[in-house]
Every structure is written in C-alpha cells, then in structure tokens.
Chains A and B, each alone.
Chain A
Amino acid sequence: AQSVTQLGSHVSVSEGALVLLRCNYSSSVPPYLFWYVQYPNQGLQLLLKYTSAATLVKGINGFEAEFKKSETSFHLTKPSAHMSDAAEYFCAVNVNQGGKLIFGQGTELSVKP
C-alpha cells in the first residue's frame, strides 16, 4: 500500500536560511508525488509535482524538490526562507492517475526574523 512519511512535524529556520522539508514515500508502482502548502484557515495550494519526467522539479515561490528513487524520497527545499513561507506543508502520493492522494501528516514551517 502507498504511504507517505514526513520527518519532523515542526521545522524552524531563520529568515534567509535554507529550508529543507523531508518526505519519504512507499509505493509498489512508479508514483506521482506532490507538495502542497496550507496557510492558516485556507485550503491547500499546489507547490509542485513530480510526474516521472525530470527528477528535479521546480515549483512556485522558489521551492524545488528532487525525486530520488533509490532513497524513496522527495524532499522539498528552498535556498532562502522568507517570513511569508511560514505555513503547513504536505507531501502526497497519487495512488493512480487521477486517483486519491495519500498525504503525510504535515510539517509546520516557522520562519524567525
């Protein structure tokens, strides 16, 4: 069965520092992988997705993620954190094309001035 594990329920960085949010997946078939961001009292917004093309995926707001099959990972990074990046981040795997998303438990990112 597919699953997603996000390491660290809370990550705190200083403004301007590197952001690294970790995601590992389990899937018996080639996965589609997603990162979503959720700001307080809002729905989820797609940051980026991996759909078996390039392994390094660039998304909105300067975020990117690299698909590493050997490590079953899809970590999210951003070179320099902004205060506006403070939010909850969810990694998700697509069970099949157009099918349901299996989400990790989320990582709350705090950015200190």
Chain B
Amino acid sequence: EAGVAQSPRYKIIEKRQSVAFWCNPISGHATLYWYQQILGQGPKLLIQFQNNGVVDDSQLPKDRFSAERLKGVDSTLKIQPAKLEDSAVYLCASSFLAGATGGTQYFGPGTRLTVL
C-alpha cells in the first residue's frame, strides 16, 4: 500500500514570496491533516479536512496561509506572502475516517521550507 506522498521535499524561497505544497493521502483515507513542525518542536496542526470539508482550521494563520482539498483526495497548502518564521517542515497526514478508534494518522515525508 502506498503511503502519503508529498512534494516538493525541499523548498527555499525569499520572504514575501509565495509557495505551495502538495499532498496525496493514502487511498481511501477520508481525513487529511496539515501540520507545521518548527525545528526543535513537535508538529502543530494547521488544518484538518474531512473529505473536502474543513473540520478544524483554528491554528491556520488565515491572513497568509490557505489550503484546499477540492475533490476530497489530494490537497494543496499555500503560503502567501511567506515570512521568516514560516521556515519549518510541513507534514501531511491522513487517517481512514474521523471517529475511527484511536484515529491513527499516517504521515508523509514532509516538505522542508526555508525562508530567507
């Protein structure tokens, strides 16, 4: 079974530029998550989708971050404009169904963003 796919793996941009990350979850997984992991910290949830609807985006900086999951499968996370403090690893995860016992989430390899 293929895992969660993410691209690109690495991205370097200058501040005030825009950037987009792509995620393809495990086939059949209805729930998709985007986490931000700043160096030396644990991941922090940015947004959670159930199919193509948003379940939780309370931690998403909506003035600069946006995300979509149009067909309930793959998802795109965008930052515009980027700030220095956005330098982090962006992790995508998926789970079979919100409400499944324990809600196990499977993570992709992440995209490492460096903002100069």
Contacts and interface: CB of A to CB of B under 8 A. Distances in A.
Q: Which 7 A-B pairs have the closest CB atoms?
A: A103-B42, A98-B98, A43-B107, A51-B102, A98-B103, A100-B45, A44-B107
A76 interface: no
Interface of A: 4, 9, 32, 34, 36, 41-46, 49, 51, 90, 92, 94, 96-101, 103-106
Contacts, number: 72
Given A103-B42, A103-B43, A105-B41, A97 B107 contact: no
Contact of A49 (B44, B56, B97, B104): B104
B91 interface: yes
Given A98-B31, A98-B95, A104 B42 contact: yes
Contact of B109 (A43, A90, A92, A104): A43
A99 B103 contact: yes
A97 B43 contact: no
A31 B100 CA distance: 14
Contact of B104 (A43, A46, A96, A106): A46
16 contacts: A4-B42, A32-B103, A34-B104, A43-B91, A44-B107, A46-B104, A46-B106, A96-B103, A98-B100, A98-B103, A100-B56, A101-B43, A101-B45, A101-B103, A101-B105, A105-B41
Interface string B78-116: 000000000000010101011111111111111010000
B21 interface: no
A49 B102 contact: yes
Contact of B101 (A45, A51, A90, A92): A51
B31 to A, nearest CB: 6
Given A100-B45, A105-B42, A43 B110 contact: yes
A32 B41 contact: no
Contacts of B61: none
Given A103-B44, A105-B41, A105-B42, A97 B109 contact: no
A43 B89 CA distance: 9
Contacts of A32: 101-103
